[in-house]
Amino acid sequence: MRPITPLVALACLAPTALAQVPHQDMLLMVNPEGQLVTGLVDFDTQTPVAESLRVFDATFEIIPLGGGVEVAITDVPGFNALLPSNPLIPAGFSTLPPNVPVMFDAPAIEIDGVRANLWHWDGTGPVSFAPATITNRISKAPSALFNATLDGTDSDVAGFTIDFSYSSGGFHKHVDFQIANSHLAPEGFYLWSFIVRTDTLEAEPVFFVHALGDFDQQAYDDAGDFVREEFIEGRPLCVADFNGDGSVDLGDFGFFGAAFGSSLGDVNYQEAADFNGDGNVDLGDFGAFGAEFGRGPGECGG
């Protein structure tokens, strides 16, 4: 069996490299515990790339409609379940049950106490998503009878049945993600979530981080890292939260101040305050402390 490399995010690629990216879809499988899980599959070779994957990215393609009107659209990723005869299905996993509906819902997700079903970050500076002010219509091509619209409000959005699994349990379908009047939409990264399910099974939420405009590799990486930390792995605790109360405040400043100016071996030396580990609590460490000072539970994972 070809080895499977567990991933936590789809490899983020700059738009200029997208032409070389193979057709890769969200892989739907049932794990040994009987749970619906999402991974990544290479469609052309029907080879699993990852057993576990919950963050997916892509770039919207701009389609001119004439008269100065354009639409931004993508159908990446698709949804794919391997045929049961595929020898590359990971040991203990199975494909979908036969003839079951593959459905989704698009719940609002929360960032820093705010809920929205569609988020936007402009792709510059530190990642800072805010509720989007445009709409993202999700539709089953070519029919507009099956669609759901995300509008940046705090409403959970009901999805639809993408299609039914084959009699063998295999599956391969795409839906369209579309931003109308995209020339009026701010460039940046758009974030939303799906809960993919069948009639009896439900996967953990997946997250889409799709770019409108041209951005470098670092922006894709930063957006994906933020989503993984925010929704999957949990944000890392602030290293300057010495008392563990979820905030970096005056209490922590007192601890750091007492150690400031000390060196390894001094009575007041504190290893926790020596951020760079050079044996001295000095201006270099003060800069690291200052970068976190004022952070609260939203930033420190408390």
Q: How many CB atoms lie within 10 A of CB 301?
A: 16
Convert the pLDDT of each residue in 122-157 to its tens digit: 999 999 999 999 999 999 865 556 899 999 999 999
Which of 179, 207, 233 terminates a domain? The answer is: 233
Q: Are residues 133 and 282 in the same domain?
A: no
CA distance 214 to 194: 25
Cβ atoms of 116 and 109 closer than 8 Å? yes
Residue 84 shares a structural domain with residue 161: yes
What is the band of 278 on the pLDDT scale with cuts at 50, 70, 90? Answer: confident
Residue 184 is assigned to a structural domain of this protein: yes
Same domain, 131 and 95: yes
Q: What is the mean pLDDT of residues 251-260?
A: 92
Total of domains in the chain: 2
Last residue of a domain, one of 233, 266, 284: 233
Checking if the pLDDT of 263 tops 70, the result is: yes
Assign 149 to helix, strand or coil. strand
Tell me whether residue 5 is in a domain.
no
Whether residue 4 lies inside any domain: the answer is: no
Are 81 and 170 in contact by the 8 Å Cβ rule? The answer is yes
Q: Which residue in 214, 220, 193 sits closest to 138, CA to CA?
A: 193
> Could you tell me the CATH number of the domain that includes residue 275?
1.10.1330
- Same-domain status, 268 and 213: no
7 falls within a domain: no
Residue 6 located in a structural domain: no
Both 150 and 219 in a single domain?
Answer: yes
243: in domain = no
- 228 plus 268 within the same structural domain: no
Q: Is residue 244 in some structural domain?
A: no
Distance (Å, whole) CA 32 – CA 17: 36
Q: Tell me what pLDDT residue 245 has.
A: 76
39/87 same-domain check: yes
Task: Give DSSP secondary structure letters for 150-185.
Answer: E-SSS--EEEEEEEE--TTS-EEE--EEEEETGGGS
Domain end residue (candidates: 183, 201, 233): 233
Q: Taking the model in full, what pTM does it have?
A: 0.73
Residue 16 has pLDDT above 70, yes or no: no
Q: 24 with 155, same domain?
A: yes
How far CA 9 is from CA of 32, 50, 155, 243, in Å, comes to 22, 9, 26, 33
239 lies in some domain: no
On whether both 82 and 107 belong to a single domain, the answer is: yes
Specify whether 120 is located in the same domain as 44. Answer: yes
The range of the structural domain enclosing residue 116 comes to 15-233
Tell me the per-residue pLDDT of 17-60, one tens digit each, with 9 for 90 and over: 334 557 899 999 999 999 999 999 999 999 999 999 999 999 99
Same domain for 156 and 191, yes or no, is yes
Residue 299: predicted pLDDT: 66
Are 117 and 197 found together in one domain?
A: yes
DSSP output for 84-124: TT-TTSPTT-B-PPTT-EEEEEE--EEETTEEESSEEE-SS
